[in-house]
Amino acid sequence: MRNALRQAIDAALSNASDATGRNLMRGFQTVHRASKLLFSRSNSGQRLERNNVRCSQNNNIADIKFIMDRGFIHGQRLAPQCELEMGDTGNGGDNGCGPIALYNALYQLNGQTNPVSPSDIIYELEREGAFNLGGLAGTNPEAMVTYLRDNGKQADISYLPRNLDAAISAAGVTILLYHGGGMYIHYVMIRHVPEEKVFLIYNRGSRDQNHISTTSVDQWASDGIDGTPYRPLALITIPS
């Protein structure tokens, strides 16, 4: 089922029309409903307790191992964020980009203060059935929008977005889901800093210890990595 989802995304990206965007949206909605039905969430409380222990051991805002860059989280394959449990089959290192993007967005939206811990975000997402295939295939973007709205944020989502620079500049804080080739699908939080005329991208690399900056997200996506462009799948906008 995981491979089938990835293949469906690859097929959809071959023709980025409005109809294809709608099909991609329906696909994620279907996977979200299926994950809620098929994967048990009965152990989410125990996982929350274990994740709280991992987070409490690194609760100093200046602790370079966990909270970096003035409170934003980077480097999902670094300890302890890589050790966080996500559903029955996922973990922070392999599948944690969605919860990390949500944490970073909320941290920025709340004036760079810690409104909620990563372990609480994971717990709420799991209770919502947000983890595709029990966590193995990451976090569903439809469920991320639901999480933000349930927590009082005005969040919207667009599929196969274009003109990223304009959309991110207008919103202020966004979460981008993109396809980087093969099986690689990743979330990043991106915010615009108008006074510096740059965009800051958080948790881009699995072992990064800081954000990266670019003057154009469209150009950054086009450049990609190793000759493979990043293809935007979904953009969640959260007015700041």
Compute the distance between CA of residue 204 and CA of residue 207 in angstroms, rounded to an integer: 9
* pLDDT in the model for residue 28: 76
Tokens for 221, please give them: 């996506």
Q: Of 9, 47, 31, which Cα lies nearest the Cα of 160?
A: 9
Cα 158 → chain centroid: 14
Each residue's pLDDT, cut to its tens digit, for the chain (240 residues) gives 455 555 555 555 554 456 577 777 877 777 777 766 665 556 666 666 666 555 655 543 333 334 444 578 877 766 566 667 666 656 555 678 888 899 999 989 988 776 677 778 888 888 777 776 555 557 889 889 999 999 899 999 999 999 999 999 999 899 999 988 766 789 999 999 999 999 999 988 766 667 889 999 999 999 998 888 999 999 999 987
Compute the distance between CA of residue 91 and CA of residue 117 in angstroms, rounded to an integer: 16
CATH number reported for the structural domain that contains residue 128 in this entry: 3.90.70.10
Spatial CB neighbours of 131, under 8 Å, sequence gap ≥ 6 = 35, 39, 86, 87, 90, 95, 125, 137, 138, 139, 140
In 10 A of CB 187, how many CB atoms? 27
List residues bridging with 192 in a β-sheet. Answer: 199
Compute the distance between CA of residue 133 and CA of residue 135 in angstroms, rounded to an integer: 6
* pLDDT in the model for residue 37: 66
Cα 129 → chain centroid: 15
Q: Of 175, 187, 232, which Cα lies nearest the Cα of 21?
A: 232
Domain that holds residue 121: 2-239
Peptide bond into 232 cis (omega under 30): no
Instruction: Return the H-helix or E-strand segment holding 111.
Output: none
CA torsion through residues 98, 100, 104, 107, sign:
positive
Number of domains in the chain: 1
Cα 122 → chain centroid: 12
Compute the distance between CA of residue 65 and CA of residue 199 in angstroms, rounded to an integer: 24
